[in-house]
Structure 1
Amino acid sequence: MSTLEYYVPGVYSHGDCHKIVDSLECGTSSQTQTLEYICSMVDDWEIQGTYSEPMVWIGIYIAVASLLCILAMAADLLHGFWNNKLWFPCKYFSLNAASITVITVTMKLPVDLSSEMPSYMDQAAKLGSLAFMCTMMTNFMPSLAAMDNKTLLANIIGLSILVITMIVNICIDIYTGAIKHINLNLLSVYSSSFDCVVVAYIYMAMILLLLIIMISASLIIPTSKEILEVRYQTRNKTYLTDQHPEHTQRSIVEKLRQHVTRYWVMAETGSPQFVMASIPLSTASAVICGIVLILNLFVVFEVPFGYHGKQKVYGSAYKWSILFIVITQSIGVLVGAIAPIFRCFSVLSFKLVIKWNMIHLMVLEVEEYWTQKLSEWKQSPIHFLSSGRSRTLVYNLKGIIISLCIKLQKVIVISCKGISLIPTVIPIYVVYYWKSVEAMLVTQPDESGTDNTDGDLSNYVLQIHDEMELVETTLMRISNSVNSYILEAEKEQNKDLLELLDKFTGFKGVENFDTDHVQSLLSFEIVNSWSLPIVTLTCIAVALPNIPKDKTKSLLRSVGEGLSYTHQVEENLNCEKEYVNIRKATIILWNEVEHKCKWLDKALQKDDFRGKTTREILKWFSNRANEFVTEFNRSINGEMVQNPPKELIAANSMYRIAETILLRDESNREATTEKQLFALLSGMIADILGACFTNLPRVIIVKCHESVIEKREASVKAAAKLLGKTSKIIERLEACELPSMDPDKMSYVDEWRLYLKQIIP
């Protein structure tokens, strides 16, 4: 037996081979050369084994990245079900730089050209990644409408680069044999030639088609937003001018509920994501996703049930981690397909008006908005060339290219309209069954929150196509969703704040917390906000030593809740620069008072004030504020200050309020006790809060009238929650006699004080 016959791969190392070569003194030259060649092969195998060791961890990394995508898609799915939005807007899983980066990791197998994938498990993992990519692209569809034009262009380009790279690499894998002709035995009944290569071609076609659909959808997004904005402004103007006389006797809360409901319908149906979910392109992508899901199930079921001879289970360098990739991404395909398919059938009722009555027009007609942006680009002039001849040549060439793009866009739209008709060929009884189940799932509107005399809410539905109509069940679902927000928020109303408002005395505290008899310490004026005097008065009340802790804590809780509303009044109605600076400073000051119980870095410990009279306590606050303002005046040396620091704002407010209370205390014959001072301070706080809260209806209306289309839905939702939380407050103030002030002036505390000075002697 020759020396070569003793070599067994995996037994001898390259060092052993070289020792054998050295010992072959009497061997022939051909044997020596052959053994040297084998030694070099062993070297290559060992090097390859060393480099392939980390591939297991890379496989786990791919599975973890896939899991992140699945969790994001599942979060959007749960968010849609929880909020009764069966068009499933993208909130967590949207197309952006971060998601593209994670997807690049999940697509490591399709773009991997260096690793051999010999077993069927490896082939299934590679094909499963393509199916997972199809699912993720379909889920991205609504998120395209939530972007501005520049962001949309950048994200589409990034996705296109990734998709094209994947397709090129898969073609190389097929050419080199990395994707093998392994038959799918579960499909052998239908076709004996249906193997992994055929599946790869199908997936590539689906991915490329989805990319084309996404690019086509991106072209109508700017135009659709313009159409929606025009129709929104038209509905808005109609609503503001069309006020029914029979509704004048309704309460403010009922009017606000009606207002919020109407603008919620406009915000929901006019949401770019809702419109994107309603177009035929989205339905076509959902159909493609369904096909991919079915095909992926056959590929995955082949792993445990298929027959592939005596192949190794894990033949690639990824080893056992390939199983985790297959399982994770198969779950991802299943989870990711739910939202598009549900979206397809939830908007089916929305589209039945067209599909059953205008099917022949749908297939043949391509509305102008599908190609409007391309037409604008075609007609736009060329600015980057100065020569007339070259500019004409480029302009004509651009016209030819865009004309081809317009024709291609029409072909895509017509094709997708045809594909979107597939769900309508489902037997009619299935459609009726779905609608009956849907009607059972829709909660009947609450009588207290539903306006039976509100008119037809369908008048406030916004769509880009004139022939589209929203059916009653979908409209009811939208109306019920805003009612649920209001009802849930009503349960969150703060009892401590309502108890504090019981001390409301009729706006007297608004005029009494400050006086012109106190000389200003500053050479410039600092405006008053609603929140600033409330925080200042609370600081004094918290420092009173003989007030029970439960009353102090209750005051802090109620003031904290009240400030959350005063900040909203200031943010929406006091938009001038000086008020913005005051609001920011007040938020910081209140955080120090609420969480650290400090004012100007001085702890408001009750023990420090124990044994002092109320006058001495007020004098302490006044003196400390005076010292700070005096030191600040010395540092600026008479210069004007554009943005005064928060410490100066707090000190100036404290000095004026403390001195005002001291001046009024001097007019009393008897000294004010701590309980009396606490009651006085609480009453002033309640009066300021009450005056501020008279602006809450205006704040709710302002939030409903959000000008940015992408933020409109969230703004109206915030208005609905604010209405629910403050409904009892608004009802209480409605019973009070409000001053006959200009509504614009009622949003400023200084305007209130000026008005009250004129009517109160």
Structure 2
Amino acid sequence: MSYNSDDYLKLVDSVASWNNNTAQYLAHLWISSYQGDQQNRYSKPMPWIGMYIALASLFCIIAMVADLLHGFRRKTLWFPCKYFTLNSASLTVIAVAIKLPMDLSTLMPSYMDQATKLGSLGFMCTMMSNLLPSLATMDSKELIPNVISLAVLVITLVVNICIQLNTGALFYHVVDDGAGFDLHGYVKSLPSYVPDRHNRFTAAIYVGMLLMLLTIYVCSALAILKSKQILESKYQATHDKAINDQYLQQEGELTVEMLKQHVRYYWIMAGTGSSQFMVTCSVTTSASAVICASSVVLHILLLLFYVENLWDYKSDYKWSMPVILIIQFFGIIVGTISPLSRCFSAFIFKVSMKRFQNHIKITKVESYWTEKLYDWKQSSIPFPSSSRNCKIVMVNLKIIILNICIGFQMTVVVACKIIAVVTFFVVICVFYCIRCWKWLKAMFCTVPREKPERHLSGYVLQLQDDIEFANRTLKGMLKSVNHLIQKAEKRQPKNLMKLLAESRGFDGVEKFDSHRVQPLLSEEYLNCWSLSLVTLTSIAMSLPNIQKNKVDWLVSGVSEGLVYVRLVEECLNATDNHVSIQKAAKTLWVEVEVYHKWLGHKLPKHKPKVNTPGYILQWLRDTAKNKANEVESQDDNSIYKFICANSMYRITETILLSYHENIDEISQEELFAELSSMIADIFAACLTNLPQVIAMKCHQNAIEKREASVQAAAQLLGETTQIINSLQVRELPRLNPDELAFIDKWRAYLHYKKNHE
């Protein structure tokens, strides 16, 4: 039974008058009992804190599994970090996931409790091994703060474990020597706390692993800063070679085959020059994988050693301990896949097995490992004092410290190479098993051997030029990009292609907006592809007698086409004046497509007085003019409304002028067909720029974004293959390539051609 504080005080007061040793003993006993009861009340939330730890661990596991699935889906078996990366958010979640070993005061009396707490250290080793390649995705402004934050977390964890090694908060378990009471109520014996030497030794090993991983992080960060500069210089040289390639220098349009070859070049450049791939193929990654695998083995041995007493939990975390143990054990097992695969890829995918001895030169430390430290050593530092003696001391001190750091860096790299040699023997077994399987497969069935084109090896980027790049890697990369393009080809925009079939030329580009129509304001009026398309689609949707399936087909085709139109505008029309118009078109299209409204007006208009095309066009024109006149302020919303209203006014007035008094003699179906034809012509003109967009998206200045950019280019090429082929048979205006991206340049050329034919 339990008492509240008042009950305890009454008991103490009642025996205070007993002036003997028994009274004093009972008073102390009741006070101790009260303190124990209060401690039990304070520890009630602990199981829910344990569930919070389990949930944070689960989030980390989900992110690691997502990276695994992403690697399998893209066939990048070195598993780049896309979801589980080192940043402030992930560090916060990791700090929660390792709260158990951070806890200095909660006793872990049972083997179950101790195994769970030690398992959190193994889970931390696994997470650090998985996070290592993500260092390469950061620039120097992100890299240094994130590594420092991780270092603070790891050092705090190590210090807390060392404190618990000293105090025994973790490593003592309860041994029941028959504690109980005899018939007279006297205590026969008390339970004792016995130190567990096995756990002390296991914890010490985990501390060593964590410090080794932290050292690897620091050394890798120093190498990344310089390695990116080396890869960047090689990328720029290879980029110049790619743009001067014979495929791009041929006269005429860029064909689909030329674009595919161009994408392959940049795919290899982005893949081999990827900063994450660079880190994956380094000896530090191999060493971290060995440490990760060792932590898994250690944790499994620990669980097997305590398997008989594993489900007996006695700490304040209670029933949450087995939940944490199971979740983190699963995370340790699953999280080991990526580091080991990255370790194997450093040999199987990166270099030829025949040249392994050149890849691992144990006595040689490549310059990029220490070059950043040498740069710091040779750089000048600001001095707070003007004293010459002080400057001499500061310079000498800096040189001594950096010499020590350089020596330590070289020692760590050599140690990592020695550790990497251990993995080589495992890789040798895997490699020869694969070779035997291929040999057996070749005996029973003839498999055509694919040979990569020799000239593609010139687009491989490596830190070390003396390393032979494995042919199997080029084959894998070519297979990957070809698969990506073929997969995208199955997602052709069918509605857009049907809409483009309505186009027979580019006449609609000139017809939709007349030079005779004056803008609503005296300012220079600019057109853009997307706003013109959205406005014409809005007019077509305002015709009430058109069958719904035809309107839906037109809206679907325009929706598919606007995706590619925006890509053209973002890549080729990125001027300030055009960007504001493109932004207005994007906002307006959401209103038109989703709500079937134009600036708040329902399309088509409810119960129009007259269903003639002339009346509908006049209503749209007058509504647009009124909207433009209502605009007074210069805020973003008013500017957006004016841009949309101006476009609607000009286009409707142009159509009315083109038909003169005969506008009411045509049917709504005829006007809808005319609008659809103009929309198709504008799409056709705009999408002739797709080859230039694909070529531009292959190249990306930021090294961290190159892979994603080339992937987007490959997908865009696959999706638009048929569109590019269908448009290349048309005769384009005699404009400069830069002018083909602007609709006003098209209109001026077509207008001039029409008047001078």
The TM-score, its normalising length taken from structure 1, stands at 0.90
* Structure 1 residues 203-602: aligned runs within 5 Å: 203-243=206-246, 252-305=255-308, 313-350=312-349, 352-353=351-352, 356-358=355-357, 362-389=361-388, 390-426=390-426, 428-434=428-434, 455-602=454-601
How has the CA–CA distance of structure 1 residues 175 and 438 changed in structure 2, closer, same or farther, with 3 Å as cutoff?
Answer: farther
What's the secondary structure of 1:506's corresponding residue?
coil
Equivalent residue, structure 1, for 2:132: 141
Q: Which amino acid aligns with 1:362?
A: K
CA distance in 1, matches of 2:505, 2:111: 81
Shift of 1:422: 0.9
How many residues align? The count is: 729
Q: Note the C-alpha offset of 1:100.
A: 0.8
Task: Give a deviation string over 1:666-720, Cα, whole Å, max 9, x none.
Answer: 2769822212211111111111100000100000011011111111111111111
Kindly provide the amino acid, as one letter, of the partner of residue 705 in structure 2. K
Distance across 1 between alignment mates of 2:436 and 2:568: 44
Q: Does 1:738 align with 2:732?
A: yes
- Within a 5 Å distance, the mapping from 1:69-148 to structure 2 comes to 69-148=60-139
Q: Determine if contact 1:501/1:686 at 8 Å carries over to the other structure.
A: yes
Q: 1:742 to 1:359 in 2, by over 3 A?
A: closer
Shift of 1:180: 2.3
Distance 1:24 1:651 in 2: 92
CA drift at 1:384: 4.9
Q: Residues 416-472 of structure 1: CA distance to partner in whole angstroms, max 9, x if unpaired?
A: 01111111123844322145669999xxxx99xx99895432221112121233312
Cα distance in 2, alignment partners of residues 513 and 360 from structure 1: 64
Deviation of residue 644 (structure 1)?
Answer: 7.0
Aligned-residue offset at 1:587: 0.2
Cα offset for 1:607? 4.2
Question: Are 1:646 and 2:640 an aligned pair?
Answer: yes
Do 1:141 and 1:214's aligned partners in 2 also have CA atoms closer than 8 Å? yes
| Offset of residue 602 of structure 1 | 0.8
TM-aligned CA deviation for residue 323 of structure 1: 1.1
Query: CA offset at residue 182 of structure 1?
Result: 7.6
Is the 1:629–1:648 contact (alpha carbons within 8 Å) kept by the matching residues of 2?
Answer: yes
CA deviations on 1:246-297 (whole Å, 9 max, x unpaired) are: 9879971111111111101111111111111110000110011111111111
Query: Shift in Å at residue 351 of structure 1?
Result: 5.1
Report the CA distance between 1:478 and its aligned residue: 1.7
Quote how far apart the aligned CAs of 1:570 are.
Answer: 0.3
Which one-letter code corresponds to 2:242 in the other structure?
Answer: Y
The alpha carbon displacement at 1:601 in A equals 1.2
C-alpha contact 1:350 1:469 (8 A) present in aligned 2: no
Q: Secondary structure at the match of 2:517?
A: coil
**Contact 1:138/1:340 (CA < 8 Å) preserved in 2?**
yes
Match of 1:4 in 2: none
Higher mean alpha-carbon deviation, 22-31 vs 528-537, is at 22-31
Q: Give the C-alpha shift of residue 314 in structure 1.
A: 1.6
Say if 2:281 and 2:345, in contact at 8 Å, map to a contact too.
no
Cα distance change on mapping 1:518 and 1:124 into 2, 3 Å: same
- Residues 436 and 750 (structure 1 numbering): CA distance in 2 closer, same or farther, change over 3 Å? farther
Measured in 2, the distance between the counterparts of 1:401 and 1:418 equals: 26
CA separation of 1:360/1:133 partners in 2, compared to 1, >3 Å: closer, same or farther? closer
Equivalent residues of 1:60, 1:324 under 8 A apart: yes
Separation in structure 2 between the aligned mates of residue 250 and residue 748 of structure 1, nearest angstrom: 18
Q: Does the alignment pair 1:751 with 2:745?
A: yes
User: How many angstroms does 1:119 deviate by?
Assistant: 0.9
Instruction: Return the match for 1:176 from 159, 167, 170.
Output: 167
Deviation at 1:240, TM superposition (A): 2.1
1:564-713 correspondence to structure 2 within 5 Å: 564-605=563-604, 607-609=606-608, 611-632=610-631, 635=632, 645-666=639-660, 671-713=665-707
Offset of residue 359 of structure 1: 5.3
1:31 matched to 2:31 = no
Alignment check: 8 A CA contact 1:123 1:179 kept: yes
**Residues 225 and 272, structure 1, Cα contact 8 Å, conserved in 2:** yes
Question: CA, structure 1 residues 316+182, in 2 after alignment: closer, same or farther (shift >3 Å)?
Answer: closer
Partner of 1:189: none
**Matched residues in 2 for 1:132 and 1:648: separation?**
58
Paired residue secondary structure (1:364): coil
Q: 1:725 to 1:350 in 2, by over 3 A?
A: closer
Matched residues, percent identical? 46
Deviation, structure 1 residue 329: 1.1
Letter in 1 for 2:364: E
Q: 1:164 aligns with which of 146, 150, 155?
A: 155
What is the RMSD computed on CA atoms of the aligned residues? 2.9
In 1, distance between residues paired with 2:452 and 2:63? 42
Conserved 8 A contact 2:15-2:27:
no
Partner Cα separation in structure 2 for residue 136 and residue 159 of structure 1:
12
* C-alpha distance in structure 1 between counterparts of 2:290 and 2:211, whole Å: 15
Does the C-alpha gap of structure 1 residues 383 and 24 become closer, same or farther in structure 2, counting only changes over 3 Å?
closer
The one-letter code sitting in structure 2 at the alignment partner of 1:482 is V
5+ unaligned residues in a row in structure 2: which ranges?
175-195, 442-446
> What's the counterpart of residue 714 of structure 1?
708
Counterpart CA distance in 2 for 1:218 and 1:453 is 34
CA distance in 1, matches of 2:537, 2:249: 44
More divergent stretch after superposition (321-330 vs 687-696): 321-330
TM-aligned CA deviation for residue 527 of structure 1: 1.0
Gaps of 5+ in 1: 1-9, 184-192
Q: TM-score, normalised by structure 2?
A: 0.91
Per the TM alignment, residue 355 of structure 1 is displaced from its structure 2 partner at its CA by: 7.5
Flag the 1:528–1:202 CA change in 2: closer, same or farther, 3 A. same
Q: 1:124–1:429: structure 2 CA closer, same or farther, 3 Å change rule? A: closer
| One-letter code aligned to 1:80 | G
Q: Name the stretch that deviates more: 427-436 or 287-296.
A: 427-436
Range moving further from structure 2, 471-480 or 539-548 = 471-480
Contact 2:355 2:468 in 1 (8 A): no
CA 1:735–1:314 in 2, change beyond 3 Å: closer, same or farther? same
> In structure 2, how many angstroms separate the alpha carbons of the residues matched to 1:518 and 1:528?
13
When residues 426 and 247 of structure 1 are mapped into structure 2, their CA distance, relative to the original with a 3 A threshold, is: farther
Q: Secondary structure, in 3 states, of the residue corresponding to 2:659?
A: helix
Seen in structure 2, the aligned counterparts of structure 1 residues 554 and 115 have a Cα distance that, compared at 3 Å, is: same
Distance 2:92 2:16 in 1: 59
Report SS of the residue matched to 1:526. Answer: coil
Q: CA deviation at 1:56?
A: 1.1
2:697–2:713 CA contact under 8 A, matched in 1: yes
- CA separation of 1:597/1:440 partners in 2, compared to 1, >3 Å: closer, same or farther? farther
Q: What amino acid maps onto 1:235 in structure 2?
A: T
